[in-house]
A and B are shown apart, each in its own frame.
Chain A
Amino acid sequence: MSGVRVLVGTRKGAFLLTADGKRERWDVSGPHFAGWEIYHMKGSPADPNRLYASQTSGWFGQVIQRSCDGGKTWETPGGGITTKPGEMPAGESNRFVYDTSPDTGRPLTTHQWYDGTQHPWEFKRVWHLEPSLTDPDTVYAGVEDAALFRSTDGGKAWQEVAGLRGHGTGPKWQPGAGGMCLHTILLDPSNPKRLYVAISAAGAFRTDDAGKTWKPINRGLHSQYIPDPTAEIGHCVHRIALHRSRPAVLYMQKHWDVMRSDDGGDSWREVSGNLPTDFGFVIDVHAHEPETIYVVPIKSDSEHFPLDGKLRVYRSRTGGNEWEPLTKGLPQRDCYVNVLRDAMAVDSLDKCGVYFGTTGGQVYMSADAGDSWTPIVRDLPAVLSVEVQTLR
């Protein structure tokens, strides 16, 4: 019997929403880690019972949580209570220390600050966790201030993938209004050495050697809010998505503009087409149709809510340019929520399910690829992230 598990991170805790393959009756579990911000949760593709969660707080900093039973119980990896006097536990699961060792080639200590001066890298939180496609114990973390970390022991210890900050453009990166965060990590299912990441506000980057070397992949992006609109870096990329059957085709929701690349990010072209506004945060791809993509247009960068108070998902079946509004079941008046960058996901059932969460605490679900929508829950804390596991 198939089913789905929706992992919802909110401002005040984590929630797990589960249903069978019909996706009609939902069980809601939570809040887990009540009172903490849960920036992101994601399950391992290699072991669906292995979940990772980023638990963070302005008071107490970063905590990494791990579940080995599908979210029934959680632990801080390596952080158990010691039982013997003098025993020194690892307790490193929330230790994210930037690499400054000489063997990384070019350790960096500063990036550009809001006033143009150089500013030390300071770890703040984990925005995104991306488990390996093949190994439940290997997981990547995208953090603020922007860097990529990797754990190969189930989250007990983290090492920076330092080649990203060290490739040369790091001193030019600068934070956007939401901080300088690495929020998107895409693993190429056909090439384990290829990864994509995206940083606000630096842009998109790619490695083809498993993280040793990186290069910016921002050619074709045009951003009027930076001095040189076509600069190599400095673009505020909000989200990138790919379909596993065609991993060199990338779709991007930029600050403004929806973009597409057919060559692994080497070049981009705009596919905003007939969207009523091309500002937004989320973008995702249909599980079975690599040319079907979804966005949620937001009015503007200074008004983070849907245009005209109408919450509309837009779907393109042509890989961009031609978009149709999806409104059935979504509020079409007086709706002023936002949908944040990590808050949309799809399942791989037939028909494809599409899910997104709002800052108003609703998690909407479509069991028919977007034709109609229904709220699974209406009154959660503001939703920061939504991921979906298809269970078989």
Chain B
Amino acid sequence: MIRVVLPHHLRRLAHVDAEVTLDVAGRATRASVLDALEARYPMLRGTIRDHVTQQRRPYLRFFACERDLTHEPPDAPLPDAVVSGAEALLVIGAIAGG
């Protein structure tokens, strides 16, 4: 069971209060976790990754286990602690004033 923490606005869009838990077949990667997230919550399609290019939106980043995984390849295995559910994958929106 993979745990994903979404930013406030995406939690509201997906109608979830806290973190999301997902079943991911095979070795979990960022891409497979986002695939599972978007399948479960289709209103999130296009909000984290572009619909067509699957590129990350520029103002979003991915953290886990006190590391910035944003620039890891999308199909790289996620850390064991994320796979085991001990740690969550954090989707973080850039901080901006105003």
Residues of A within 8 A of B (CB): 35-36, 57-63, 76, 78-82, 85-95, 97
* Interchain nearest-CB distance for A264 vs B (Å): 36
| Contact status of A62 and B46, CB under 8 A, knowing A35-B9, A95-B51, A97-B52 | yes
Contact, CB under 8 Å: A91 / B43 = yes
Known: A58-B59, A59-B93, A61-B46. A91 touches B38 (CB 8 A): yes
In chain B, positions 1-19 with a C-beta closer than 8 Å to chain A are: 7-10, 13-15
23 contacts between A and B (CB under 8 A): A35-B8, A59-B7, A59-B94, A60-B9, A60-B13, A60-B48, A61-B46, A62-B46, A63-B43, A76-B13, A80-B43, A81-B15, A81-B40, A81-B41, A81-B42, A81-B43, A82-B40, A82-B42, A88-B39, A91-B38, A91-B42, A93-B43, A95-B51
B60 within 8 A of A: yes
Contact B57 A61 (CB under 8 A): yes
* B40 lies within 8 A of A94 (CB): no
Q: Do residues A60 and B47 form an inter-chain contact, with CB atoms below 8 A? A: yes
In Å, the complex CA distance between A63 and B39 comes to: 17
Scan residues 78-96 of chain B and give those whose CB is less than 8 A from a CB of chain A. Answer: 93-94
Contact B13 A89 (CB under 8 A): no
Asked whether any CB of chain A lies closer than 8 Å to the CB of B30, the reply is no
Which applies to chain A's interface (DSSP): helix, strand, loop or mixed? loop
User: Top 4 nearest A-B pairs by Cβ distance?
Assistant: A91-B42, A79-B43, A89-B42, A60-B47
Query: Which residues of the partner chain B approach A89 to less than 8 Å between Cβ atoms?
Result: 39, 42
* Chain B residue nearest to A91 in the complex (CB): B42
Residues of B within 8 A of A86 (CB): 39
| C-alpha gap A35/B96 in the complex (Å) | 13
Quick one: closest A residue to B16, CB to CB?
A81
Quick check: A59 and B46 within 8 Å, CB to CB?
no
Size class of the B contact interface (CB-based, 8 Å)? 20 to 34
Q: Is the beta-carbon distance between B42 and A80 smaller than 8 angstroms?
A: yes
Given contacts A60-B10, A81-B40, contact A94 B46 (CB under 8 A): yes
- Residues of A close to B23: CB separation below 8 A: 85
Given known contacts A80-B43, A94-B51, A97-B52, what 4 new A-B pairs fall within 8 Å (CB)?
A88-B39, A92-B45, A94-B46, A95-B46
A276–B41 Cα distance when bound, in Å, is: 53
Beyond A36-B9, A91-B38, whether A59 also contacts B43 by CB under 8 A is: no
Q: Is the CB of A57 within 8 A of B45?
A: no
Q: Which residues of B contact A94 (CB under 8 A)?
A: 45-47, 51
Which of B9, B15, B50 touches A57 (beta carbons < 8 Å)?
Answer: B9
A387–B85 CA distance with the chains assembled, in angstroms:
48
Is the CB–CB distance between B60 and A59 below 8 Å? yes
**Identity of the chain A residue whose Cβ is nearest the Cβ of B94 in the assembled complex:** A59
* Minimum Cβ distance to chain B for residue A67 (Å): 15
**Contact indicator A59/B57 (Cβ below 8 Å):** yes
- B9 contact set on A, CB distance < 8 A: 35-36, 57, 59-60
Q: In whole angstroms, what is the CA distance A87 to B50 when docked?
A: 21
Given A57-B9, A60-B47, A81-B15, are A90 and B42 also a contact pair (CB < 8 Å)?
A: yes
